[in-house]
Structure 1
Amino acid sequence: MILHTEITGEGHPLVLIHSGGMSGASEYEEQRDFFAAKGFQVIRPDLRGHGKSVGPIEDYFVQCTEDIMDTLEHLDVETCHLAGVSLGGIGALLFAKKYPHKVKTVTFSGVFPEKPEIWEELTQQEAAHHEDLFKREEVIEYMNQLHGENDWRAMLASWHQENFYPFEETGAVEELSIPAMCLVGGESSLEFEAAGCYRKRNEAIQISVIPFAGHLVHRDQPRLYSETLYVFLQQHQ
C-alpha cells in the first residue's frame, strides 16, 4: 500500500513517521522546516489508518513495514534516514530491521524493548483518556477532519487489544547493524530505563536524553530534538 506523503525540500531523503492518532501533515512541522533548510528532502507519510492513508488495521506493524517499503519504492528512494516517535518509532525500528539496505540511519523515540511491569495500568489509563476524548465535540471534529475516511475510533481502540504491542520485535535489536539512535525525554522514567535496556542489548545504539521532555520529545523540545538528530545524521551522511 502506497502511503499518502507530504514532501518538503531537496536533498537526501529523511523520512519522519508520526505518532499514533496524528498524521504526516500534523506532526514534525518544526523538524520539516529545520531539515529542509539543511538540505534534506523531508518525507512525512500518513501511516495506514491515519490521515489520508486509508487501509485495514489488522496485523498493523506487519502491514506498516510493507507500506513504508511500497512508499519508498514508489518515490524512487534508494536509501533514507528514518526517524519516528511512539507508534511511528515502532514502525521505523521494525522497518530498519527488515530492510536495512534501505536505511542509512534509524532514530526512534517512545519505544519499549520489553513490557513494563505497569503496562496493563498504562493501557487502562490510555483507554480511559480516549473515552474522555470521544465526549469532546471539538476533538471529534478535529479527528474527523484529520483522518477523513478512516475509522479513527476503531484505530484507537485497537491499541488496547492484548498483544498489539510487538515487544518481541522491538526488543530484538542485538543484530541491528545500521547506525541507530534512541532519543528519549528525560522526564519519562520508563522510557529512560528503556533506553538503557537498548544500549545493553546493542552497544552500537546511541542514546540521547533530551531534558524537560516526555514521551513526545519532538514536540516538547523541538529545537533540541532537531539539533540532536542533525548531529547524528551528519556523522553518517
Structure 2
Amino acid sequence: MTKHIVREWVELISDPISMGNQDQRVFENADLPAVIDKLSVTIRLKIHKHEPHYATIFHKGTNTDIRTPILQLTPNKSKLHAKFTGNWTCSAGIGELEDGLVVNKWYHIAYTLSDPEKRLDIYVDGEWVGFYCIQNVKTQKVIFNNGPFYVGRSTTHHIGFSGEICNVRYFNWRLSAEEVKEDFFDEFQKKPIVYGSRIALVHVSTRKYLSTKKIQYDLGPDNQQYMNKGFTNDEKIAGFL
C-alpha cells in the first residue's frame, strides 16, 4: 500500500531565547507533524562559547541510541555533528563538517533527512555544506521514533549548548535546496523597511551582496560584496532608504 502524508510544519520556538548548557525545551511527539519516512529541521543559532564536550542543539528520541534526528557541536571547535539512527547502527551520519561555528554570530542551519532518498543533508545560511548517503539501499533504513523532540540538553549524557536560538521549525518532509533558501531568507523578508533601516541587496541564486561605500555587512564567510556609488533621489523615494 502506498503511503500518503500531508505536508505539515510547525514553528516550535519563534523569538530568540537564551540557553545554557543545562537548559532544554521539550516538545512531545503528539505535538509535532506526523512523520513517515522524511523530516527536516531548520533553526537560527548563535553560540556564546565553545563547549569542552559534545553540545546538543536538538535531539529526538528517548535515549542516546534512539536519535533521529540529532544535531550536535563537536568539543572545542563547534563543528556540526549530524547523526540519525539506522537499522544497522545508532550513529549514522556526518561525523563533523570542516568549518566550526564562530561565537556570537547568528547562523541559519537546516537538517534534512529522507529514507526513500537514503540521505542526510546539512545547510548553513542557505548553502549546502555536507551530506551523508546510505550505501546499502535495499537493506539499510532510517529508523524514525516517537520520542520527544529536545532543543538543548536532552538525555542525561546529552549536554546542551550556551547561546541563543530562534525560529526552530520542524517539517515532515525533506526540504529541497530551494526551500531551504526560502526558509533562510524568510525572516529577513518579514522585517519592514522604515526610515533609518540598513538594507542589503542579495541575489538569491549566487548569494552575492551589493554594498554601499563604507558599509560592511556581516553576512557569512563566503560573503562577496560589490560597491555602489549610491542611490538617486528617485530611487530613495521608491523605497531605498
Higher helix share: 1
TM-score by length of 1: 0.27
* Greater RCO structure (CA 8 Å; 6+ sep): 2
TM-score by length of 2: 0.27
Q: Which has the larger radius of gyration?
A: 2
Higher strand share: 2
